[in-house]
Amino acid sequence: MKVLVVEDETKLRQQICEALKHEGLSIEQAKDGEEALFIGLNYPIDIAIVDLGLPKLSGVDVITQWRDAGVSFPTLILTARGHWQDKVEGLNAGADDYLVKPFHHEELLARINALLRRIGGHASSRLTFDGITVDLSAKEVSVNNKPLELTAFEYSTLEYLILKPGQTVSKTELTEHLYDQDHDRDSNVIEVFVGRLRKKLDPNGQLNPIKTLRGQGYRFDLVTRSSS
């Protein structure tokens, strides 16, 4: 998942980015409103964290222009003063949630996970698919109640596919959303990760959770049975 972090305070932006990277999320960052607008309109972003008090273009203006341009990724606004006038203005401009500074990283991550779940239409953070259980908050996967060892990248690939249920995801899309902008990209690596994931999730080859659609990409086909 690719997160755009828009914050003018360099130190705080770096801290947020580090915390998100630590959770296996891919990062894009912007230090002002204009840069944020450009990245949001031109790069594949899954979720954005936008500070309201930005130089050049305010956070509310950035979100309004994204929505006007048809950009629909979920957005979490950060507000320093925490006044309701700012929050309501931000939310009604198109943001999906708010967080008042200062915040605990855990709270930020919980809000991001909740927003990401909404993309996939899941109300709960714990998803069960025919024996495969994925805990989006704890970032843990188990098969038939046995914990599964996944690398951060394998988990990110699975999470991205799960949050796009029934949708075909191309290798290019996966690469764009799982790697940072300046990362060396190799689509063959994706094939390797997906191959390993299949083996770990479905060692007997009975469920076939990730389908390959030749020339198009991958699709997660299992139906969820959510549990809290």
Partner 1 sequence: MLSSNSIRSRLTLASLLLLPLICGALAWSLERAFSVSLLENQQRQMTLQAYALMASAELQQNTLWLPEVMSDDRLNQLSSDSFAVVLDNNLSISWRSLSASDKAVDIIHALSKIKTGVSSFKRTSINHEETFVFQYAVEWESDEGIALPFQFVIYENQADYRSQVQKYRHTLWLWLCAIGLSLIFAQLIVLRWGLAPLNDLIKDIAAVRQGNTERLKETYPKELTAVTSSINQLLEHEESQRARYRNTMADLAHSIKNPVAIIASELSSASRNNQLPKPVLDELSQQNERINQIVSYQLNRAVGGAAAPFVKAIPINPVAKEIISALKKVYVDKNLSISIDISESAVFKGDKGDLMELLGNLLDNAFKYGQEAISIAAKGGVSNGKDGTENQYLIIVIEDGGPGLSKEQQTQLIHRGERADTAIPGQGIGLAVVSDIVKTYQGEVSLDRATLGGLSVSLVFTWNS
> Cβ 90 to partner 1, closest distance in Å?
8
Binding-site member from 69, 123, 138, 192 for partner 1 (CB under 8 A): 123
For the chain, the straight-line distance linking the first and the last C-alpha, in angstroms and rounded, comes to 23
Binding-site member from 27, 41, 71, 91 for partner 1 (CB under 8 A): 91
Query: Residue 141's beta-bridge partner residues?
Result: 134, 148
Q: How far is the CA of 150 from the CAs of 7, 17, 196, in angstroms?
A: 32, 22, 9
Residue at token pair 């790069």: 43
CA distance 68 to 212: 35
By CB atoms closer than 10 A (0-12, 13-18, 19+), residue 159 is buried
- Check binding of 69 to partner 1 (CB under 8 A): no
Nearer to partner 1, 72 or 172 (CB): 72
- Check binding of 53 to partner 1 (CB under 8 A): yes
- Check binding of 17 to partner 1 (CB under 8 A): no
Part in contact with partner 1 (CB under 8 A); list of ranges 26-34, 40-48, 80-88, 190-198? 80-88
Footprint of partner 1 (CB under 8 A): 9, 11-12, 15-16, 18-19, 53, 80-88, 91-92, 95-98, 100-107, 114, 118, 123
